[in-house]
Amino acid sequence: MLEVCDLHKNFGGVKALSGVSLTAQAGRVLGLIGENGAGKSTIIKCLTGIHRPTAGDIRLDGQDHMLKSPLDAVTAGISAIHQEPSMFDDLTVAENICAGAIPLGFGGFVNWATMKRRASAVLDRIGSTISPSANLKSLSVAERHMVSLAKALATDARVLLFDEPTAALSQSEIQHLYTIIDALRDEGKIIIFISHKFDEIFRICDDYVVLRDGALAGYGQMRDTSEDDLIKMMVGRSVSDVYPKAEADIGDVVLEASNLCHPTEFDDVSFQVRRGEILGFYGLVGAGRTEVMEAVFGLKQLSHGTIRVDNKEGTIDAPHQAMEVGLAYVPEDRQHHGAILPFSISANMSLPQLENVARGMFLNAAAETTLVENFATKVSIRARDWDQSVSELSGGNQQKVVIGKWLATQPRVIVLDEPTKGIDVGSKSAVHETIGRLVQAGLAVVIVSSELEEVMGISDRITVMARGRVVAEYERSSFSGEKIVAAASGNMS
């Protein structure tokens, strides 16, 4: 078994971990649960030798291990599979899998045949058909995850740490990963699994540990707990508080899309959203929801269809035209498309309207500060100051920066694509409260979400898409999880 005993980790005067203890057993999956900032990543970094604990012990089969570096962790048999695998894009799959343990032959030269043979063997073990000779940068996100897992297994790791491994995977790819984890459990591996998705936690994990503010908040077996119990341990509130429904006066139609068509992504999509209304878009991966919203914002070119804002038809072939008529779009991938992470909060939030915070070629610092303080306060961004880098913020606060950035353009309609993807339940609640304030202020909101509880919890109406077409629409009074999932799956019976 793997034991973490009374672990402490301080960063200056900040306590990231305060006496955390946990046990992970061979042949079982331990779920490590908690909000962003609860200490999960700090534990993973201590276990992989990236951070050295301030105090406490890490034991494997009763033996103390001083993990001073990642190499120490690999030598001890501990390996991690991260949400965004960090590997060498310009090397082959085989070179990535064997990195750190390159097989050498006569004269100290690389034995390429042995390397490919080892890589093929470990890829076969996880049921992957990826070629060992393929260049890593040519692979999809899911394939990169498989290579990352193969690399961990190539080191004959006894302890596998899965940190949000399904965030960028489709449903079929997630199911394949589940099958692999089940097989690794049966082999007697020690597995720690981190996820914000409760359906995954209950599907994969045998045991759980809940962290809150760097301390242990609860532990036990999954069969003895419920989602509501876990949420209460995490944030001190019940599940009904995570999806608050804001009451707002619903007015006239603000945005109306009619018969939107794209040559390959979607066909004959129509919808409308009113002032003070939240319209939810639900569907399975590949249903075409994101593609429709990108077209509405001018990121994709329509082959047919009309878009009206305030009953005025306009041409939207580019984002600047969408912004001119009062549309705003918060993309699904906030880290790559929504924000520039190394930039400050101020720089990110003023970016869409530099002409309003500049004097000629020079930035008007006072105007920028006024804008940022106004809208950062409205969305309740928690930061040291407005000059703090967005990369240093939690996932929930990063999302608030992106939302605040677009609110500062004073839109009529805001589209939120997977606004709570990859953030913890407490941050979700904060984002939902922000959305509630938007509709109460008279905005029309479209929210695209793959989480059924979320889209049912905060929407006034739900439009369901499947295979690029709208297949159903439900008013709040007739919401039914079974009907919505059936429609999204193409089964209306």
Give one DSSP letter per residue of 58-124, joined into a string.
Answer: EEETTEE----SHHHHHHHTEEEE-SS----TTSBHHHHHTTTS--B-GGG-B-HHHHHHHHHHHHH
CA distance 216 to 195: 17
Reduce the DSSP state of residue 447 to 3 states and report it.
Answer: strand
Share of the chain above pLDDT 70, in %: 94
252 or 140: which leads in pLDDT: 252
- Residue 13 predicted with pLDDT over 90: no
- Average pLDDT score over residue span 473-480: 91
Share of the chain above pLDDT 90, in %: 34
Straight-line distance from the first to the last Cα atom of the chain, in angstroms, rounded to the nearest whole number: 49
Could you tell me the pLDDT band of residue 464, with boundaries at 50, 70 and 90? Answer: very high
- Residue 328 predicted with pLDDT over 80: yes
φ/ψ of 477, rounded to 5, equals -65, -20
Question: Which residue blocks in 98-247 are alpha helix, DSSP H?
Answer: 112-125, 141-154, 171-186, 198-204, 227-235
Q: What is the pTM of this model?
A: 0.59
Question: Which single residue is written with the structure tokens 């406490």?
Answer: 56
Question: Which single residue is written with the structure tokens 């790791």?
Answer: 157
pLDDT of residue 37: 67
* Mean pLDDT, rounded, of the chain: 86
Q: Picking from 102-106, 266-270, 401-405, 445-449, which range would have the lowest pLDDT averaged per residue?
A: 102-106
Taken in order 91, 97, 99, 102, the sign of the CA dihedral is negative
Apex 161 CA angle, 338 and 24, nearest 5: 135
- Residue 493 predicted with pLDDT over 70: no
Lookup: tokens for 454: 């979320």
Instruction: Specify the DSSP element, H or E, that contains 454.
Output: helix 452-458
